[in-house]
Structure 1
Amino acid sequence: MFQRFRRTRLNRHLRALVRETHVTVDDFIYPLFVRRGENIKIEVASMPGVYQMSIDEAVKECAVLKDLGLYSIILFGIPDVKDSIGSDALCEHGIIASAVREIKKAHPDMFVVTDLCFCEYTDHGHCGIIDDERETVDNDATLEISGQQAIIHAKAGADMIAPSGMMDGIIETLRTYLDRAGFNDLPIMAYSTKFASGYYGPFRDVAESTPSFGDRSSYQMDPANRREAIAESISDEKQGADILMVKPALAYLDIVREIKDNTSLPMAVYNVSGEYAMLKFAGMNNLIDYERVVMETMTAFKRAGADIIISYHAKEVAQMLKNR
């Protein structure tokens, strides 16, 4: 006798009872982009609904997020002045450290993650100190200043640090620096498998971080490499990462699943700017049922194995879930 799968689909309440994958507001981290000034809220043309904000506006935004049930954010900084080593990121009065202090002061119940990198802070747009001879990032010199940046974030009150520069050995370096400074309990969410992707375009508009020469293929992963992707994440786990991540998400769900099957650590995905923009503009032009496709996409991330979703859709998803 053949199995009648439709028996459990005919009634909507039974469909809900047997549903395997669930999306909740607690799954999300919402990105915020902060800059100097006051009363600044500039919408990014390539990412409708996403803004560059002054710190005071970011503090207000946190209140809006909490009303939606969103209590986790990840901060990206846009400094006034950029130089060859990203000095703003190495200063306790830099944009990220200042933003963390103000947000935690106003909203101590917010969970504040800091993106740790140098691409937004350098005048060349790369993720660390440049090796001029080879015209790429000097891995080990960048590790040293990354450790310094981590301590600044920790002292400012960050609840978790997320290093996105893809330097070899970054997790072990940060864990060593943080532990020596007494921040043994501060977790690290590794950008453990981050691809050199074309999906990042709109992010570089909002973060003002487009490289002035070359690209990031020498330190971000080749999108074609599956085995290397798994090895990168397992390496970060061994170095002491608390959470692993795959970035981008949508085109790499096979990688999410394989890493999930090879680790016991929580898995995050970064639903990146290009993925967001595609759905946003398709929805604005009535090409798709926007809310349905957004929720279908979030469900796909969870079904593939993601425990955490970093997404520019997070506010919209929270409202959709609230409306239900």
Structure 2
Amino acid sequence: MAKTDFFRGRRLRQTATMRALVRETVLRPEDLIQPYFVAEGDRHASRPIGSMPGQHQLGLEALTARVSQAVDNGLHAVMLFGIPESKDPQGSQAYAPEGIVQEAVRRLKAAVPELTVITDVCLCEFTSHGHCGLVDGQQVLNDPTLELLAATAVSHAEAGADIVAPSDMMDGRVQAIRLALDTAGFQQTPIMSYAVKYASAFYGPFREAAESAPQFGDRKTYQMDPSNAREGLREAEADTAEGADFLMVKPALAYLDILSQLRQRSTLPLAAYHVSGEYSLIKAAAQQGWIDEQAVALESLTSIKRAGADLILTYFAEQALDWLS
């Protein structure tokens, strides 16, 4: 018998069933969270977002109908972003009891009680200056912002949110939110912290969708420098110590190394946000006929899970439910 001295990896790739048998990473519908933009005003509105094909600013009725359909198709969780009709320097509609996010939470929990509703906790969509915290001149204030973020999280929990997710990147906000939730009687409400959130160029389409572009400066004094890895691990450690129940890395594809390192260090559930720019790049190339949209999207999402994510926030979630069925 002839002896070979090389590895025959192809033995396990011969058929689709063989490849499935030895597949190491499996993407499931349960892994996916679909973000939605809910807008105040016309409750039946469904306004296409130009830079994010397939995504819309949705009125309350349109949101409920679309989410209900997605749940029927296998969606388990959503992330809500609110777009108010009026904004002010304090972002008061973020924590108003009858604010657009609070109303959306109540409607979704009434329509589809089994759905996990996660709410983004930040001020940027609600402030007239577009920053994630209170400002004094050109400076974004950290500590005075914490009270408003905590009030926002409590108002979401009161409306019925299952998980609150602070994305602002103010120091100490997880601790402030945990204390406020516990004091208000929401000890069982988990916090999904945007723990490692970079000042990324991939957010451009989102800022159109959420109408949240800063009116001056940028967010580099509070979001992280894309060049830094160890700093991200410190941020994650701090949020864990402050009481976070989930940690998130954002963006996802450009920061898979960070996600992988964090997976090696943390036992908490990890989420990764496949952000608007990462979504829109695939959509744009697919519209030009340059790539196979389904194949590239699923390969991208699988890479995020392979790197260590337990949960993936992605604008492809609705489509992926069809692709995975």
The normalised TM-score by structure 2 is 0.97
Q: Is 1:306 aligned to residue 309 of structure 2? A: yes
How far residue 125 of structure 1 moved from its aligned partner, in angstroms, is 0.2
Identity of aligned residues (%): 48
Q: Alignment partner of 1:158: what SS?
A: coil
Any gaps of 5 or more consecutive residues in structure 2?
A: none
Q: Which residue of 2 aligns with 1:61?
A: 66
Residue 200 of structure 1 is matched in structure 2 by: 203
What is the DSSP-based 3-state SS (H/G/I as helix, E as strand, rest coil) of the residue aligned with 1:99?
helix
1:31 aligns with 2:31: no
Equivalent-residue separation in structure 2 for 1:11 and 1:29 (angstroms): 31
Contact persistence 1:29–1:74 (CA under 8 A): yes
Paired residues, number: 320
Cα deviation, residue 3, structure 1: 2.1
Deviation at 1:176, TM superposition (A): 0.5
Question: Which shows bigger deviation, 232-241 or 114-123?
Answer: 232-241
The CA distance in 1 between the partners of 2:81 and 2:74, in whole Å, is 21
Q: 2:68–2:111: 8 Å Cα contact kept in structure 1? A: no
2:242 is matched with 239
Letter of the structure 1 residue corresponding to residue 272 of structure 2: V
Instruction: State which of 314, 319, 324 in structure 2 corresponds to 1:316.
Output: 319
Map 1:1-324 → 2, pairs under 5 A:
1-36=5-40, 37-132=42-137, 135-322=138-325
- Contact kept? 1:82, 1:123, Cα under 8 Å: yes
TM-score by length of 1: 0.98
Runs of 4+ in 1 over 4 A off after TM superposition: none
Q: Distance in 1 between matches of 2:6 and 2:238?
A: 46
DSSP-derived class of the 1:48 partner: coil
CA deviation after TM superposition for structure 1 residue 319, in Å: 0.6
Deviation at 1:14, TM superposition (A): 1.4
Provide the rounded CA distance (Å) in 2 between the counterparts of 1:302 and 1:103. 27
Q: Secondary structure at the match of 1:191?
A: strand
Counterpart-to-counterpart distance in 1, 2:125 and 2:178 = 23
Work out whether residues 29 and 76 of structure 2, in 8 Å CA contact, stay in contact via their aligned partners in 1: no
Secondary structure of 2:267 counterpart: coil
Amino acid at match of 1:230: L
RMSD: 0.8
1:171 deviation in Å?
0.7
Deviation at 1:6, TM superposition (A): 1.1
Unaligned runs of 5+ in 1: none
How far apart in 2 are the matches of 1:242 and 1:236?
9
